[in-house]
Structure 1
């Protein structure tokens, strides 16, 4: 975990420099609404270089660099160097560095770093979740009508808008609020911290690098994590629900109505 934190801080320094850079940020289109800056490319390379120096045997799955097979290990490091690219480009101060480790098919480590706040959220499977050096407590469940719920919403024809609209309509009468700040990795980690009481997504198209690190943190903080069919280890994460075990079932029922 020390190496992951070192890599995240180095990437965060690169992103912070870009965020505060005077003038416009050059970017190229990857698709209709996906943007990649040279900052997130540089951040991903910095993460890979830092980890490879300490652990040359591991493989990588990166949003920008794709798959790098491992040399002699069943460990894969899953990287989103800049989760919240649109926020970054529009100077909204809500984005993160997300790094997870998968051993075989099992997610074992997760780290989400908010560079502007210098806030490090991390977890190791079976060892709890942490904010910096402070272990996150296992929180009690709030009543449904007091819950603040995070989500990611589809945009610009990316994803299933009708599903998201239906699910929003199902939840809105029952909860205290719904938020979509724009960095899934942070929102999922925040569910583990209790800043959100739950997180779900189905209409938005989330990739493994968007959610892997947050899943480890949320689970180690006591949350129940599954897809909306109730599977806790699906082959493909086509949907996601994270909540306190006492609220997971009712939320899943509402979202599946």
Structure 2
């Protein structure tokens, strides 16, 4: 089994656990700062890691809930986010994803995001990106036609106060061109690659992130325009992410953010 197939199967194994778990009254494990994991997070992570470890015992692994394991000196590291959108899941909102990504020498070479409730899996071998539905693969085709832009409003905000993604919600020029969405799961990053969102924006330091590695890899392989919030290559600058379906959408959003920074400096 190649790495891309393994990433896809691992994400689907986690998704099967989430789909089979009843959210009502589910046990929570508090992590502090208002964050928590549910029994579904823990069980899905075990299912993903069991499959990965059996297939690639010499690799390193990082799970959101269990932390690092395996050979820490290994050049290959698997990043696992077993349930992105835990709060959504815990209140019965079926907007969640299971993310699996393989990083090797600073590059994501295989990744997958599985949607437990649609049965769809977005996956990439690092070169091309596809959507698997009912056992069939179709290439991901980004487009900005929807004009929907997903904004992640969760902290931290390392670029504040000069730059805040949330300010776009009240920017009249943004309102004229786009329609904001806030779904609070990185499943929305995969939607950009699939043409279901025009763009996705978030702040934060995202290098080797279990939450974002898969979605970024999907967008890059699908041909999206992907940078940090100031237009630098992602992971190299001040942090954050703009993943846009095309260069024009990216340029418009980058301009709105740049103007925001200029306004803050003048004050």
Q: Using structure 1 for the length normalisation, give the TM-score.
A: 0.87
1:114 alignment partner in structure 2? 115
2:257 alignment partner in structure 1? 255
Matches within 5 A, 1:10-159: 10-18=13-21, 20=22, 23-70=24-71, 73-126=74-127, 128-132=128-132, 133-139=136-142, 141-142=144-145, 147-154=147-154, 158-159=155-156
Matches within 5 A, 1:91-240: 91-126=92-127, 128-132=128-132, 133-139=136-142, 141-142=144-145, 147-154=147-154, 158-160=155-157, 163-170=164-171, 172-184=174-186, 186-202=187-203, 208-235=209-236, 238-240=239-241
Unaligned runs of 5+ in 1: none
Are the counterparts in 2 of residues 57 and 72 from structure 1 also a CA contact under 8 Å? no
Give the SS at the match of 1:209: coil
Are the counterparts in 2 of residues 3 and 51 from structure 1 also a CA contact under 8 Å? yes
C-alpha separation between the residues in 2 aligned to 1:252 and 1:32?
31
Give the SS at the match of 1:173: helix
Measure how far apart 1:3 and its partner are.
1.9
Equivalent pairs, count: 246
Are the counterparts in 1 of residues 126 and 217 from structure 2 also a CA contact under 8 Å? yes
Unaligned runs of 5+ in 2: 260-267
**Gap change, CA 1:195 and 1:72, over 3 Å in 2:** same
Question: How big is each residue's C-alpha offset from its partner over 1:181-235, in whole Å with a ceiling of 9 and x where there is no partner?
Answer: 1212x11000011100111112x67681111100111111110111012222424
Are the counterparts in 1 of residues 7 and 102 from structure 2 also a CA contact under 8 Å? no
Are the counterparts in 1 of residues 140 and 193 from structure 2 also a CA contact under 8 Å? no
Are the counterparts in 2 of residues 16 and 116 from structure 1 also a CA contact under 8 Å? yes
Range that drifts further, 85-94 or 2-11? 2-11
**Gap change, CA 1:245 and 1:15, over 3 Å in 2:** same
Measure how far apart 1:45 and its partner are.
1.6
**Gap change, CA 1:164 and 1:247, over 3 Å in 2:** closer
Supply the RMSD in Å over aligned alpha carbons: 2.3
C-alpha separation between the residues in 1 aligned to 2:226 and 2:149?
14
C-alpha separation between the residues in 1 aligned to 2:7 and 2:194?
20
Are the counterparts in 1 of residues 152 and 201 from structure 2 also a CA contact under 8 Å? yes
Are the counterparts in 2 of residues 151 and 187 from structure 1 also a CA contact under 8 Å? no
Q: Using structure 2 for the length normalisation, give the TM-score.
A: 0.84
**Gap change, CA 1:92 and 1:221, over 3 Å in 2:** same
